[in-house]
């Protein structure tokens, strides 16, 4: 397992266009590349540090990818891949905030544990 977290606010059961989560990543190697086609992520780093690569092009798209936490397939608007070609690296540490607009590939790597962050997911119409 490379990540996990808890839902802190469910957007009033979907009535609002955002959710709030707390999350942790471990240094078991990089996870998969994520692309949220309808969600913008706002990430606030609480503890630890990591590198996040954003942008670039997907390499090795994973068809029918499953969530490692619950084993359920991701929705079709949640794309996963093995790697990013190109992209821009950002070092993140406690107190940093990064906004990842919907449609932008992103991948965490070089994680210094414990790496904890809060995540606001803003759902686009």
pLDDT for the residue numbered 1? 43
The per-residue pLDDT string of the chain (125 residues; one tens digit each, 9 = 90 and over) reads 456 788 999 999 989 999 999 998 876 666 789 999 999 999 999 999 999 999 999 999 999 888 877 889 998 999 999 999 999 999 999 999 999 999 999 999 889 888 999 999 999 88
How many angstroms separate the CA atoms of 104 and 26, rounded?
A: 22
Distance CA 107, CA 100 (A): 11
86: left (phi over 0), alpha (psi -120 to 50) or beta: left
């Amino acid at each position: 397992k490379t990540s996990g977290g808890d839902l802190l606010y469910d957007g009033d059961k979907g009535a609002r266009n955002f959710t709030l989560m707390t999350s942790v990543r471990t240094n078991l190697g990089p996870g998969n590349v994520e692309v949220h086609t309808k969600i913008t992520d706002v990430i606030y780093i609480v503890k630890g540090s990591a590198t996040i690569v954003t942008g670039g092009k997907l390499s090795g798209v994973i068809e029918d990818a499953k969530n490692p936490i619950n084993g359920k397939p991701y929705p079709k608007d949640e794309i996963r891949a093995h790697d990013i070609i190109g992209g821009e690296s950002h070092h993140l540490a406690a107190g940093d905030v990064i906004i990842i607009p919907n449609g932008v590939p992103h991948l965490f790597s070089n994680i210094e544990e414990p790496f904890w962050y809060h995540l606001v997911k803003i759902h686009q119409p």
